[in-house]
Amino acid sequence: MKKILDIITAKMQQAFVDAGYEASYGQVTVSNRPDLCEYQCNGALSAAKQYKCAPIQIANAVVEKLNADDYSMIEAVMPGFINLKLSGHFLQAYLEEMRTAPDFGVTKLGEGKTIVVDYGGANVAKPLHIGHLRPAIIGEALKRLHKFFGFNTIGDIHLGDWGLQMGLIIAELQERQPELPYFDPDFTGEYPAEAPFTLSDLEELYPTASAKKTDPVFAEKAHTATFELQQGRRGYRAIWQHIMNISLPDLERIYNTLNVHYEKWLGESDADPYIPGMVADLKERGFAVLSEGAWVVPVAEETDKKEVPPMILVKSDGSSIYATTDLATILQRMQDWNPDKMLYVTDKRQNLHFEQVFRAARKSGIIGAATEMEHVGHGTMNGADGKPFKTRDGGVLRLEQLISDMTDFVRTKVMENKIVSDDEVEETTRKIAMAALKYGDLSNQPTKDYNFDMERFAAFEGNTGPYILYTIVRIKSILSRYGAWEQLPIAAPANPHAKDLMIAITKFTPALESALKSSAPNLICAYIYELAGCVNKFYHETRILSEEDETLKAGYISLIALAKGILETAIDLLGFSAPEKM
């Protein structure tokens, strides 16, 4: 479906032509003076220079050629603006088309294209902490948005499952239980199917081992274990597999509570088989060069304002690093999926890393010109006081703890306000808590830092997730009291608030397209906040269910039903949903 601005711009351009002027002057924009009009065209002002006459003369001539049916107001005003208000008839027809079109008439810009969204980035065997919240929920929203536009989307968690944390655990386990067969280099039998540790052991093993990193002897052991694991030492691979088997279901469980779901659970380890061939190839073709014993890929460009150091491919001790696995992962993705785009969501402190990796991939031809690379570097979530988020004893807060704190806070509210019956408390609480948490985050520009403020995020009023849910629930309740509403056609606006709401609804596609283009879920939040405001204004100013004129009433109902559909679709893109009651 065409966007309103495109439709009325085309009509305006035709009017310019009909009046004897060039079409290009007919660009229409949303009005910057909403008190005067809804849309405006300033083309007569620029055209005046070319045609050497007064702008108002042109504006008057153009206005003559516009179709009066489309507008409730057409005005040429000094010095030469054309001000427009849409007619009720035009809006009615447009919204009726939106109502009946699949996905409200959004143009499927991504049809036939594949995008890999790399987000989440959990590290196996380490508990998820609050730093993992943003990449998970921003990435999930961007993935859903792309899917909505018709992209074939592959969400890949890109687990950190190949690094030092694995070596630390292996070294720690060896100190505690050296008799285990995994440590016996001569052992050739089958390793036990059962792991020698449980999830809670693991949760203790890793931090203990990590704290011992300062001990040079232990650190050396951990590094060696990491290296040997990567070289394929059998016993270590078996321990690694145990860690994966225990850790992954737990990660998945937590991501599930966030309504974050991955198509692929690949990780750094899956890139490993690609590394030897890739390194050999980069050396052979001269992209990798020796520098102080390490193999590096120089990626500096003449136009660089800041120094971009070479990407380290192989360290002098022969081991590969984070960048190596990322480059090899790109190779794997190109071979397996040949995507049109790869989008990464991580902390913005990794900006340089991705710049280096993308450049290395580009210049070596691992990706071709047809594949777009984008890194969305997000800012930090701080505490309500603006300082880094810390637990009382100065540690890093676990993600699970954050979720359960928010859930407890919301549950108290739900129970105090006696919103739902006892058996619905949990479900309602969960939905509101998710909305509070996610909207609180997603309503910020991804790149910016923000302060986590439980009370503000969970408020039922203001620019919050619960406020959006509340608006949806309000509509649901009216609809359920009305009866069957699904087939009701859209009517022309019966009052100014209805008209404002209708215009807000027409901005759905433009808002989503902007969010898609700039990888900015915050634009979806800003849009639904505006839309919810229009719904509530309309609700307060209009007698809906008590309207006696049945035709009028049906028109109101169909309008709020459409608003509900749009709000529900939008929050689904953001990754949360509305309860029945609130």
* Smallest distance, ligand ARG to C-beta of residue 346, A: 5
User: If residue 360 lies in a helix (H) or strand (E), which one and from where to where?
Assistant: helix 351-363
For ligand ARG, the binding residues (CB under 6 A) are 118, 121, 123, 158, 160, 326, 344, 346
> Looking at beta carbons only, is 181 or 379 nearer to ligand ARG?
379
> Looking at beta carbons only, is 262 or 576 nearer to ligand ARG?
262
* Smallest distance, ligand ARG to C-beta of residue 65, A: 55
Q: Which residue is nearest to ligand ARG (CB)?
A: 121
> Looking at beta carbons only, is 160 or 579 nearer to ligand ARG?
160
> Looking at beta carbons only, is 121 or 565 nearer to ligand ARG?
121
* Smallest distance, ligand ARG to C-beta of residue 123, A: 5
* Smallest distance, ligand ARG to C-beta of residue 511, A: 28
* Smallest distance, ligand ARG to C-beta of residue 189, A: 34
> Looking at beta carbons only, is 295 or 344 nearer to ligand ARG?
344
Question: Measured between alpha carbons, how far is 514 from 521 in angstroms, rounded to an integer?
Answer: 9
User: If residue 289 lies in a helix (H) or strand (E), which one and from where to where?
Assistant: strand 289-291
* Smallest distance, ligand ARG to C-beta of residue 326, A: 5
| C-alpha angle 267-268-274 in degrees, rounded to nearest 5 | 110
> Looking at beta carbons only, is 76 or 117 nearer to ligand ARG?
117
* Smallest distance, ligand ARG to C-beta of residue 160, A: 3
> Looking at beta carbons only, is 103 or 355 nearer to ligand ARG?
355
Question: Measured between alpha carbons, how far is 334 from 339 in angstroms, rounded to an integer?
Answer: 6
Helix axes 234-257, 399-416, angle to 10 degrees: 20
* Strands 28-30 and 39-41, bridge-based pairing: antiparallel
Question: Measured between alpha carbons, how far is 212 from 225 in angstroms, rounded to an integer?
Answer: 15
Q: DSSP letter for 103, please.
A: G
Q: Terminus-to-terminus CA distance in the chain, angstroms?
A: 35
> Looking at beta carbons only, is 146 or 221 nearer to ligand ARG?
146
Q: Where are the beta strands (DSSP E) in 300-425?
A: 311-314, 341-347, 372-378, 381-382
> Looking at beta carbons only, is 136 or 498 nearer to ligand ARG?
136
> Looking at beta carbons only, is 146 or 158 nearer to ligand ARG?
158
* Smallest distance, ligand ARG to C-beta of residue 358, A: 11
Q: Which residues pair with 267 in a beta bridge?
A: 159
Q: Are 581 and 460 in contact (CB under 8 A)?
A: no
Q: Where are the alpha helices (DSSP H) in 443-519?
A: 454-458, 465-482, 496-506, 508-517
Question: Measured between alpha carbons, how far is 411 from 390 in angstroms, rounded to an integer?
Answer: 23
| CA atoms within a 13 Å half-sphere pointing along the CA-CB vector of 488 | 22
User: If residue 156 lies in a helix (H) or strand (E), which one and from where to where?
Assistant: strand 152-156
* Smallest distance, ligand ARG to C-beta of residue 143, A: 14
Question: Nearest-CA neighbor of 196 among 209, 211, 178?
Answer: 178
Alpha carbon distances (Å) from 132 to 144, 159, 308, 403, 526: 18, 12, 27, 12, 24
| Longest alpha-carbon distance in the chain | 95
> Looking at beta carbons only, is 161 or 441 nearer to ligand ARG?
161
* Strands 341-347 and 372-378, bridge-based pairing: parallel
